A and B are shown apart, each in its own frame.
Chain A
């Protein structure tokens, strides 16, 4: 935990420094530094950095134009998310509908969030700018060289190349990740759903209502809490078993294929890799049809008498085996089918890692008289776990959100027999992520989907933090040197 604490400490210290520098610049700066609080280009102009002065002035003008010209129409309504309902009147002369000047809640939310991000970026830029011109003042006082614009550009390609390189990725992350994420988080605190869909209706803030409903606080969605707990439990069970089975299966398979006694290992490997090559859409839908209530596997089981036997011992009550249509059966089958889909990937990873086990370790173990089983448990597995540990963590998180397998095997196919689940549009085989998909796709329940999305995010990040922290603790690397 010490590392984490140190990290936090350094983080806040740098923020403090950032503001301290700004304060110092404002207090000790000359007239032009103070003037640059109003016109950001002033300091640069004073030091004859005219191009830079023009560039920052353009940014300032653009931000001012955006702030006073475009943003107010939306941001001013952020508190209510709009109040004017859409209305229209048909005009027979023009054959067109004439609309009033209606509010669009989602646009208000979107533009507001973008505005906040822009203003926050502007604030950082503004503070940084002031400290930068103060630096220039100090350099001028000490008689040091002041860069020309061309020298500044060259610096960006040399000493400050990291800034040039990171500019586009950071911009991309902000536009495609941070802004949508902020909107998703905000939607969880609104009533954006089928009854409140823009542009025809408005939605508004509702505080923590959605989370209270999700955790069983009652309200209008009586069974949401009931369904949430069960789906969460299955999600974790699924993530654990799907990760563990494919991991162990992959290692065993690659050991088997790499064994000296195995003939033509390349062909075997190829056969398994073909599973990866076929798109899951195709393979999983086919498998689903194989295991359907009236599918080929059921016909076969009925013909050899397995179905009848299972009914006699009371495991099933239907005239078929409900492989993918009854909760427990479907849970087990999905994990089994996932082994078939997931093992080849792990096999490839394991093959690579196994080839790198120091041969002398295995050799000395053999000389010391260890049997293959002991070698596996005491050398192979610890080594594997050490090397693939981080990827195991990401696999677990990936499986929490493993949409493909669950959706392709059960969507429009598995019908729950549990009325309380059905009343929340959930089913026993749903993961949180597929439930979220149904809620948004079929029921337009964006507010609940957002709330669930936040919960999934918290679970995944907590698990990742804890797991990684445990894994990198100590100097375990030395064990394998």
Chain B
């Protein structure tokens, strides 16, 4: 059996090399003899539909003389795009938006067009190449849109990260600097500080802060070093002990993944770790005291270490099976360019990934988005495979459950080892 697997692996690798080699493009100039009929479908979030229709209209206004466009707009949330696309790739939209953590699965399933191949098309019609697109967007967003050194999607927004919301009436600007002082102040005020531990998206922030890393191999498996020693010289056990100390504080509230908005509205919190999607809820709950900033530092082996975070982005990709790949790529480029990212911010308060769009005064004045930008200095692009999520969620849960004890180093090491085994297990 093992031998067969080896052969299969070699065959798969050979096939991959072939398809990579094939990932080049014929050169030549576009023909201008006759106007093609181009039918495209695009998926976007329900609340963005009106805005996206406006962008489609401006796209047709710009390129209408090159081809006859018929562009359909459909509803599909960025957070669930992967599930729907992978159900039947050939039937999915030509252009769709998705959260950056879905990129590896989409690429592995062959659902995303390699944008590098579209360089010629972009240069001929939009007047800018892939390099220009990369240069115009924040480097983190370009990393998040790349896999195995190939560029797979256009960065659309940089709002998929978390930071600290707090009530400035109850905790001072001094208190929010460290977890210890924040929890102490919260305890004094009779309130709690909330964070989701039972999710690898949130709890990895402590590890990233201490110099641990996660990554993705070419075969889709995840690499993770949380059970070893980090570049900064800390061990995973030490980080876990710090997390246990935070979780054990009576002023700490462990919030279930997806329950944060409810808890903010519940009124028990004076500070909470969340993202821009909870800005309205936090504003309503904290009222005049509504404020946001980067995450605090936490005590690790007696020293203060800045908590890291996951820098997430929304991307727009092109279906690899699109009948009109070139025009689909141009449409994706259009709805993510500087002007349209600005429109996205003014109409929907979505933080831009485009550097020029992000540097405007209006963006700087937005409390949540500027806190996100502040935290992004410590943000890490979390490229991981599907096997990452369940084991890391369970690890976080066993911390808040009290199943792991700070004085039981062997138990912590065992839990970390088991988590790493699960995360790094082969994809099937």
Contacts and interface: CB of A to CB of B under 8 A. Distances in A.
Given A200-B109, A318-B400, A322-B401, 15 more contacts: A89-B25, A90-B117, A90-B326, A95-B327, A97-B320, A193-B428, A194-B108, A194-B220, A195-B12, A292-B259, A415-B394, A415-B397, A417-B401, A419-B419, A444-B109
Contacts of A289: 262
Contacts of B426: 220
A471 B401 CA distance: 47
A209 B266 CA distance: 50
Contacts of B149: none
Nearest to A425: B390
A61 B217 CA distance: 53
Interface stretch (A80-88, A134-142, A382-390): A80-88
Contact of A422 (B25, B109, B124, B422): B422
B398 A413 contact: no
Nearest to A223: B422
Contacts of A223: 422
A88 B396 CA distance: 43
A97 B322 contact: yes
Interface string B83-106: 100100110000000000000010
Interface string A91-105: 111111100000000
Interface string B5-43: 000000010010011001011111111000010100000
Contact of A423 (B120, B390, B401): B390
28 contacts: A86-B19, A89-B22, A89-B24, A90-B120, A92-B121, A92-B326, A93-B26, A93-B30, A97-B320, A97-B321, A191-B428, A193-B427, A194-B109, A200-B89, A200-B109, A201-B109, A209-B1, A221-B425, A293-B254, A294-B268, A412-B257, A417-B401, A418-B394, A419-B395, A422-B390, A422-B391, A423-B390, A445-B428
Contact of A87 (B18, B36, B38, B425): B18
A308 to B, nearest CB: 13
Contact of B428 (A220, A294, A317, A441): A220
Given A294-B262, A422-B422, A96 B326 contact: yes
Nearest to A293: B256
A237 to B, nearest CB: 22
B401 A413 contact: no
A293 B259 CA distance: 10
A423 B198 CA distance: 15
B421 interface: yes
A326 interface: yes
A209 B418 CA distance: 24
B256 A90 contact: no
Contact of B259 (A85, A95, A220, A294): A294
B256 A325 contact: yes
B253 interface: yes
Contacts of A209: 1
Contacts of A325: 256
B427 A195 contact: yes
A41 to B, nearest CB: 41
Contacts of B421: 222, 423
A199 B28 CA distance: 29
Given A95-B325, A412-B258, A194 B120 contact: no
A88 B320 contact: yes
A90 B325 contact: yes
Contacts of A456: none
Contacts of A90: 25-26, 117-118, 120-121, 325-326
Contacts of B45: none
A448 B320 CA distance: 27
A92 B257 contact: no
Contacts of B1: 209, 219
A418 B390 CA distance: 10
Given A194-B428, A222-B425, A200 B398 contact: no
Nearest to A322: B401
B413 to A, nearest CB: 13
B22 to A, nearest CB: 4
Interface of A: 85-97, 191, 193-195, 197, 199-201, 209, 219-223, 289, 292-294, 317-319, 322, 325-326, 412-413, 415-423, 425, 441-445, 447-448
Measured as residues with beta carbon below 8 angstroms from the partner, the interface class of chain B is 35 or more
B311 to A, nearest CB: 23
B250 interface: yes
Nearest to A444: B86
Residue in B28, B124, B400 with the greatest tally of chain A CB atoms within 10 Å: B400
A420 B398 CA distance: 13
Contact of B25 (A92, A201, A443, A448): A92
Given A293-B256, A419-B395, A197 B198 contact: no
Contacts of A220: 425-426, 428
Given A412-B257, A443-B386, A86 B110 contact: yes
Contacts of A219: 1
A311 to B, nearest CB: 11
A416 B391 CA distance: 9
A219 B24 CA distance: 38
- Top 10 A-B pairs ranked by shortest CB distance? A200-B110, A95-B326, A423-B422, A422-B394, A419-B418, A90-B25, A317-B402, A87-B22, A97-B325, A422-B390
Contacts of A447: 428
B150 interface: no
B255 interface: yes
A92 to B, nearest CB: 5
B320 A200 contact: yes
A298 B117 CA distance: 56
Most buried by B among A197, A222, A289, A294: A294
B253 A294 contact: yes
B323 interface: yes
Given A85-B18, A89-B25, A199 B321 contact: yes
B322 A89 contact: no
B398 A199 contact: no
Contacts of A441: 83
B52 interface: no
Contacts of B403: 417
B422 A419 contact: yes
B393 interface: yes
A419 B394 contact: yes
B415 interface: yes
Contact of B26 (A86, A91, A201): A91
A95 B324 contact: yes
B263 interface: yes
Contacts of A319: 250
Nearest to A210: B428
B111 interface: yes
A97 B19 CA distance: 14
A447 B30 CA distance: 45
B113 interface: yes
Contacts of B111: 200
Contacts of B419: 419
Contacts of B89: 199-200
- Most chain A C-beta atoms within 10 Å of own C-beta, residue among B25, B29, B396: B25
A322 B198 CA distance: 14
Interface in B241-274: 250, 253-259, 262-263, 266, 268
Contact of A195 (B83, B220, B323, B390): B220
A88 B398 CA distance: 47
B323 A96 contact: yes
Nearest to B418: A419
B256 A292 contact: yes
B428 A85 contact: no
Contacts of A95: 30, 36, 38, 67, 121, 324-327
B22 A422 contact: no
Given A89-B22, A318-B402, A423 B262 contact: no
Given A293-B256, A317-B401, A419-B415, A194 B386 contact: yes
A91 B324 CA distance: 10
B220 to A, nearest CB: 6
Contacts of A293: 254, 256, 259
